[in-house]
Amino acid sequence: MIVLYTMEREYPYGTLRSTNGSKTKAVLEEKGLDYRLECVRPGNIWKKVPEVLAKHPLGKVPWIDDGETTIYDSTVINEYLNEAFPEPALLPSDPLGRARARALENYGDEGVLSRYLPLIWMPWWSPEEQRDQDNMEKGRQGLRAEIFPFLETQLEEDYLAGDFSLADIPFMAVAMVLQVDGMDVSGFAKTAAYFERLRGRDSYRAIDPTTPLSESTGRGTQ
C-alpha cells in the first residue's frame, strides 16, 4: 500500500493540511487507490531532521513510499501516479492538451501555492495573536489582483484543461485554504463557482477542513 507522508493538524476551526500534501492526497483519492497517511511532525520539517532529509533531500512534504521506492514533490508524485495508474486519466490525451494542463498546474504551484497562499495559510497554524494580519492581507490582495483575474480568463469550461485534470489539483488546495480563511471571492464569478465545483468532488472530502484526522487516514485504512 502507498504511504503518503504529509502534515495535518486539528484546530478548533478545522483540520489544517499541507497544501502540497493535499495535492497528492487528492490524486490518490481521484484514482481510488488504497493508501495510508503518515503525519510528519511540523517540527521535524522545520528542523530538517535527518530522518526527513533521508526521504526528501529538501526536507519538505509530501513524499510517498510505494513499496521500496520513495518519491518526493507533489507534482512529480502526481505525474507518477497518473502514469502508473492510468484510470481515470488526469491529463488530456493529446500532446498540446497535456502541455497546456501542465503549464496551468505549474501556474497553480509557482504562482499561488509557493507565493500568495503561504502568506494566508501559515498564520492559521499559529495562535491568532501571533498572526501577521498585514501579511495575510497581502496574500489575499495578490489573489485578487493577479490570480483570480487570470483564472477568470481561463475558465471557459468547468475545469481548467477540459475534463478535471492535474491542472485543477493545486486549485483544490486553494479552495481548501480559502474555506478556512473565509476570503470573499464573490467578485470573481467563474472562480467562485470553480472553487465550489472542486469542493463538491468526492476526493475533496479527504482534504476538507471539516473532515477530522480520524476520518482521513487514507483509503482502505478504515
Ligand X SMILES: N[C@@H](CCC(=O)N[C@@H](CS)C(=O)NCC(=O)O)C(=O)O
Q: Between residues 152 and 181, which has the closer beta carbon with respect to ligand X?
A: 181
Rg (C-alpha) for the chain, rounded Å, is 17
Rule CB under 6 A: say whether 19 interacts with ligand X. Answer: yes
Rule CB under 6 A: say whether 20 interacts with ligand X. Answer: yes
Rule CB under 6 A: say whether 15 interacts with ligand X. Answer: no
Question: Least Å distance between CB 114 and ligand X?
Answer: 7
DSSP symbols for the chain: -EEEEE-EEEETTEEEE-HHHHHHHHHHHHTT--EEEEEPPHHHHHTT-HHHHTT-TT--S-EEEETTEEEESHHHHHHHHHHHS-SS--S-SSHHHHHHHHHHHHIIIIIIIIIIHHHHHHHHTS-GGG--HHHHHHHHHHIIIIIHHHHHHH-SSSBTTBSS-GGGHHHHHHHHHHHHH----TTSHHHHHHHHHHHTSGGGGGT-TTS-GGG-S-TT--
Question: Least Å distance between CB 7 and ligand X?
Answer: 6
Question: Least Å distance between CB 189 and ligand X?
Answer: 29
Question: Least Å distance between CB 45 and ligand X?
Answer: 5
Question: Least Å distance between CB 136 and ligand X?
Answer: 17
Binding-residue pattern over the window 34 to 73 for ligand X, x denoting contact by CB under 6 A:
-----------x-------------xxxx----------x
Question: Least Å distance between CB 193 and ligand X?
Answer: 26
Q: Between residues 61 and 175, which has the closer beta carbon with respect to ligand X?
A: 61
Q: Between residues 18 and 191, which has the closer beta carbon with respect to ligand X?
A: 18
Q: Between residues 188 and 203, which has the closer beta carbon with respect to ligand X?
A: 203
Q: Between residues 27 and 33, which has the closer beta carbon with respect to ligand X?
A: 27
Q: Between residues 19 and 165, which has the closer beta carbon with respect to ligand X?
A: 19
Among 15, 75, 82, 216, binds ligand X (CB under 6 A): 75
First-to-final CA distance of the chain:
14
34 contacts 218 by C-beta, under 8 angstroms: yes
| Interface contacts to ligand X, rule CB under 6 A | 18-20, 45, 59-62, 73-75
